[in-house]
Amino acid sequence: MFNWFKKDKKKQEEYNQTLESLNTDNGIDLEDEGDSCETVEDEAVSTHQIEDEDSGSVSGGILERLKNGLSKTRKDMSNKIEDIISGYKGVDDELFDDLEDVLVSADVGVNPTMMIIDRLRERVREERVSDPKEVKGLLKDEIKKLMMESVPSNELNLLPHPSVLLVVGVNGVGKTTTIGKLAYGFKENGEKVLIAAGDTFRAAAIEQLEEWSNRAGAEIISHTEGSDPAAVIFDGIQAAKARKADILICDTAGRLHNKSNLMNELNKIFRIVEREYGEATKEVLLVLDATTGQNAINQAKVFKEVANITGVALTKLDGTAKGGVAIALQTELKLPIKIIGVGEKVEDLQPFDTDSFIDAIFE
């Protein structure tokens, strides 16, 4: 879980007031302007998890927002499973085939679906289940188990400080807003944050990050449009050291349509980070748009080839019935999902938890 916010009621009130301000855009357009074939409408993501001061329990309706945000996936996946099961009087191969079709259509992916159904068949056989009504609970349980076995931890690891968070992803997936609101959340938790505007090729990317840095109260290092991204990251590292920043967030370009240039650019950036900031804790966060379904899987495969991805931020889950892509990312690609976006408001970016995620889909 992201322990970003202190248990301070006054701080909480100030934060809530700022949320209202952030949710009302009266300045520069803060949405990512994609220039690649994957460009889609951006989502305003958020970055907070608040704990009740007395009990320490999650407040602010986080679980409720998760359920609401996954309503389309639940309708397309869980409700269909329920309809299928209700039409059977016994458990047979045809039932398993129908369940398989539902999972594939929800973008769980062919290979993960086959693994899940095989495990379900075995479980049904071992436990001698004959009532179809029991199958849904077993299916839910097997999906959870497979996801947890594939990825032991979903926590964003930025400790100990200093730390570097390198953010990668194609244009249009919500990368810029994710960075901006992560910076805001970290600042609210008392961290000293510095942003390096390394996406120097996309129009308005630098201006958008500058606006977000102003709102978040974070410092920013930027060059002119078209500058060498690696040079920006180098200067960002030197500034982070000099200013004793806790977290350095580095934006990178998302030109996936030119894989060779992307590979060369990212490799250069990673070499600089290792050479100049070897002592820092490092996370490489890949931002993916859930609405693109299997295309997000394809993007992840490419980025895995060119970068040591340590986690995924999966945005726009509220706008799609393809939430099953989260299952595919963890079970097929072994990529831990660390952040999810389940709404348009600032507070709708949440830490990913497998239990809560699957429960929200199957409820």
Where are the domains positioned within the chain? 72-150, 163-353
CA dist., res. 12 & res. 308, Å (int): 36
Whether pLDDT at 191 is above 80: yes
| Tokens matching residue 123 | 């479980």
Choice between 206 and 20, residue whose per-residue pLDDT is larger: 206
pTM of the predicted model as reported, rounded to 2 decimal places: 0.83
Strands 337-341 and 281-289: unpaired
Confidence of residue 177 (pLDDT cuts 50, 70, 90): confident
- Give the mean model confidence (pLDDT) for residues 201-221: 88
CA dist., res. 35 & res. 163, Å (int): 30
The answer to whether the CB of 46 falls within 8 A of the CB of 4 is no
CATH number for 72-150 (one of 1.20.120.140, 1.10.3720.10, 3.40.50.2300, 1.10.357.10): it is: 1.20.120.140
Beta bridge partners of 249: 165, 195
Q: What percent of the chain has pLDDT over 90?
A: 55
pLDDT at 156: 93
The CA-atom distances, in angstroms, between 107 and each of 16, 102, 113, 182, 346 are 36, 9, 9, 28, 27
Helices (H), the chain: 9-23, 62-69, 71-76, 78-86, 93-105, 110-127, 135-150, 175-188, 205-216, 229-242, 259-276, 294-306, 325-331, 354-362
pLDDT per residue over 59-68, tens digit each?
A: 346 778 888 8
- Give the mean model confidence (pLDDT) for residues 214-218: 88
Choice between 2 and 72, residue whose per-residue pLDDT is larger: 72
pLDDT at 42: 37
- The pLDDT mean for the chain works out to 83
pLDDT at 321: 85
Whether pLDDT at 178 is above 80: yes
Preceding peptide of 132 cis, ω within 30°: no
Residues 6+ away with beta carbon under 8 Å from 271: none
pLDDT at 18: 53
Distance of CA 118 to the CA centre of its chain: 28
Choice between 254 and 120, residue whose per-residue pLDDT is larger: 120
Name, of 135-149, 312-326, 344-358, the range with top average pLDDT.
Answer: 135-149
Whether pLDDT at 26 is above 50: no
- Give the mean model confidence (pLDDT) for residues 272-299: 95
CATH T-level topology, domain 163-353: Rossmann fold (3.40.50)
CA dist., res. 226 & res. 234, Å (int): 16
